[in-house]
Amino acid sequence: MCKKFVTILAYFLLIKRVMKQLKAVIFDVDGTLAETERDGHRVAFNRAFSDAGLDWDWDEDLYGQLLAVTGGKERIQYFLSHFYTDFDYDGDIDALIAELHAAKTKHYVALLESKAIGLRPGVSRLMAELRSSGVRLAIATTTTPANVIALIKSTLGEHALEWFDYIAAGDVVPAKKPASDIFEHCLQEIGLSADDCLALEDSANGVLASCGANIPTVVTLNNYTRDDDFTGAISVITHLGEANLPCEYISGEPINAPLITVDVLKRLHAHA
C-alpha cells in the first residue's frame, strides 16, 4: 500500500516537472540589465545635491552601503537617518526629498541619453532568443518608470519597449523590494502564475522579493552585490555571457554552459 502511494507520488512529481513550462522571464533592471548604480544613479544623485546647494557627496563606498535600501527617495531618507543625522532643515523634509529625487531622475535620464551606460553581457542576446522562442518578457524593478524607459530606448531602441508584456516599476506598489509586491503585481498584470516564470535578479533584496513571490530566480551578481546572501536562488553566475565572454558559475544548480541560453533557463526552471 505504502509502496503504491510512493510510486503514484513519484509519477505525479515527474509529470508535474515534465509539464512545467517556462512562459515568461521577468527581468530586474538596475544591476541586472545594466551596471547603472555606480556610474548612473550615484552620479545623478550627486548632481541633484549639488544643484540644490547641498554639500552631500555619495562616494562609491558610501553608495554601496546606501544600496541596502531600494528606491531613490527611500535611500535619501536612509542617508539622513543613518549617515547624516546632524542635517538641520527647517522646511518640509519630505518635500525636499521629493524635489531632489525629481532632479536626480532628470540627471539620470540625461546620462542614459548620452549613452553613458550599456547593457550587461548577454542581455540583448538572451532577450532576442527568448522572443524568438515565444517566451514572454516582463520587468519588475524598484526604479522610476522614466529610468527604465530611458535605459531601454538608449540601449535597445524605442521599438524594444514593445517587447515587454508589462513594465512594473517604482511607486506602482506601496512596498518596494525586498517586499514581493512588485513581482506579485507584475504576475497579475501578465496573467501568469509564479511557477510559469523565471526572474533574473542581481541583489539580495531582489532575490528576497522574487522568491517571496515564489518565482524561481537566477542571479547575475555584480561588484556591489558579490557578497550578498542569495539564499533561495536556483543559480548564481557572473553574467549571462557572450560568445567571446563566457559566464562563470558561482553557486547553486550547475550551469555547465558558457552562455545562459533559453535552453539553460528552461532546464534551471524545470529543476526549481
Interface positions with ligand XBP (CB under 6 A) = 28-31, 37, 41, 70-72, 141-144, 147, 177, 206
Q: How far is the CB of 114 from ligand XBP (least distance, A)?
A: 18
Nearest position to Mg ion, beta carbon: 31
Of 4-12, 28-36, 61-69, 183-191, which part binds Mg ion (CB under 5 A)?
Answer: 28-36
Rg, C-alpha atoms of the chain: 20
Judged by beta carbon, residue 135 or residue 221, the one nearer Mg ion is 221
Instruction: Please identify which residue in 26, 27, 30, 216 interacts with Mg ion, judged by CB under 5 A.
Output: 30
Is 8 strand, coil or helix? helix
* Beta carbon nearer to ligand XBP, 103 or 130: 103
What is the pattern of x (binds Mg ion, CB under 5 A) and - over residues 204-223? --x-----------------
Backbone φ, ψ for residue 55 (5° rounding): -95, 20
By beta-carbon proximity to Mg ion, the closer residue of 56 and 111 is: 111
How near is the Cβ of 267 to ligand XBP at its closest, in Å? Answer: 25
Q: What is the footprint of Mg ion within residues 98-137 (CB under 5 A)?
A: none
- Rule CB under 5 A: choose which of 25, 28, 235, 241 binds Mg ion: 28
| Nearest partner of 230 among 245, 249, 244, 243, judged by Cα | 249
Tell me the one-letter amino acid at 24. Answer: A
Euclidean distance between CA atoms 164 and 174, whole angstroms: 23
Q: 178 preceded by cis ω (within 30°)?
A: yes
Residue 28 catalytic?
A: yes
Q: How far is CA 123 from the centre of its chain?
A: 12
Angle at 162 between CA 161 and CA 163, to 5 degrees: 90
Residue pair 247/258 in contact by the 8 Å Cβ criterion:
yes
Tell me if residue 52 falls in helix, strand or coil. Answer: coil
Q: Which listed option, Mg ion, ligand XBP, none, makes contact with residue 225 (CB within 5 to 8 Å by class)? A: none
Catalytic, 90? Answer no
Q: Least CB distance from residue 70 to ligand XBP, whole Å?
A: 4
CB nearer to Mg ion: give 178 or 216: 178
Measured in degrees and rounded to the nearest 5, phi and psi for residue 71 equal 90, 130
Name residues contacting Mg ion, limited to 156-215 (CB under 5 A). 202-203, 206
Residue type at 181? D
Alpha helices in the chain (DSSP H): 2-19, 42-51, 60-66, 72-82, 93-113, 123-132, 145-155, 181-190, 204-212, 262-271
Active-site entry in 30, 181, 196, 228: 30
Tell me which stretch binds Mg ion (CB under 5 A): 13-21, 23-31, 51-59, 227-235: 23-31
State which residue, 63 or 261, has the beta carbon closest to ligand XBP: 63
Measured between alpha carbons, how far is residue 8 from residues 68, 129, 270, 271 in Å?
Answer: 46, 37, 20, 20
* Closest distance to Mg ion from the beta carbon of 37 (Å): 8
Of residues 48 and 67, the one with the C-beta less far from Mg ion? 67
Q: What residues are labeled active site? A: 28, 30
Residues in the site for Mg ion, rule: CB under 5 A? Answer: 28, 30-31, 202-203, 206
